[in-house]
Structure 1
Amino acid sequence: MTASPGRSEHAERFTLLRPLLFTIAYEILGSATESDDVLQDSYLRWSQVDLSTVRDTKSYLAQLVTRQALNTLRADARRREDYVGPWLPEPLLLEDQDPSADVVLAESVSMAMLVLLETLSPDERAVFVLREVFGFDYDEIASAVDKSVPAVRQIAHRAREHVQARRRRFGPSTRNRTHVSRPSFWRPRPMATWRP
């Protein structure tokens, strides 16, 4: 059984942007499993779209995935209210087979940032990720989260303030970092005296 030309075009465009779309979903949701589910749901919706009506595939798919992720996040918020303790993001294990995923993920936020993003509202999180991590324009973000551009700018401002308020202002000094990371008996030896 062969796929119709329209189906292969849908699949080709989606597959090309899949690493970006997965990263958007993962950074909004903090769960690889839920991100995969969002991508599957998004692809099913995408496969029904008339491609002649799509001006910018990247923006369209980012909008679709963002909305699906927000819906999932809002549904999860109800479940998380019953959970005792902090809700931690699911660690992401990379497969060595897809080098393009490494490029996208290199641009993504760290696990610590995902924990920090948990303190933002769903809209703040989506706007922050799309703007600060992926550099989307406010117009594109407004379309993705179904809000006006001024509202998105305000949400982005609030999200940045929340993130800045929770971020550590100062790290440990180099001396303290060295002291903590090296055992007390460790002393560097000059290379000339080193013996195996």
Structure 2
Amino acid sequence: MALIDVDQDTWQSEIRGCDKLSREINQLLSERSRELDTNSDNYARLSTKIRLRLKQFNVQISQLEQTQPISPITAEERERRFRDMESLKSCMVRLQSQFERRRGTQPAHEPSTSWENAGSTGEIRSHMRVLEEEQDRGLEALSKIVSRQKQIAETIDGELGNQNEILDDIAVRVDTTDENILTETRHVAVVDRKDSTCGYWTVIILLLIAIVCVWVI
């Protein structure tokens, strides 16, 4: 029976849970975008559900990021998990941005931390500052993700450049070797012809000596 990697199976299960939650948030955002009256009860209800799901999504991402593998994992698995986390963070930033864009005309009676609890202009401004800070943190997180992706691309590009240099060097050496082989082949042919000529002259001289000897005798 094959052994099951419990740690990897748990990671995949948590990733699937995050993906399912992100799809649910996307669906709620789509439903809210079709709501024309931003002051309606349905719009307020959807906004509250989206806010709660976003908080849950953020908590799940944080917990997943802090999860340490039970057993050692390969470099490929570590890289794959890193890409999974980057994808989830990017998704969180995108969903939060979509939610905030639609909150520009937040209904006056939305529950939870909405405008109905802002009893004064100062509280409204304070609430807006909190929203702006959240958006700034989201943009900063997105900027870090883009920066890391750029570093990975630069590393891959550098590695490809090194491989191309190695291939070019091999091609030059192969060409040099071919030229050396052709040169040595020509030298061998010349030596072979010279050896054949010397043999012929040796036979002729021996024949002449034999003829002279016969005549003398």
Shorter-chain TM-score range:
0.3 to 0.5
Pick the structure with more helix per residue.
Answer: 2
TM score, norm. by length of structure 2: 0.32
For CA contacts below 8 A with separation 6 or more, give which structure has more relative contact order: 1
TM score, norm. by length of structure 1: 0.34
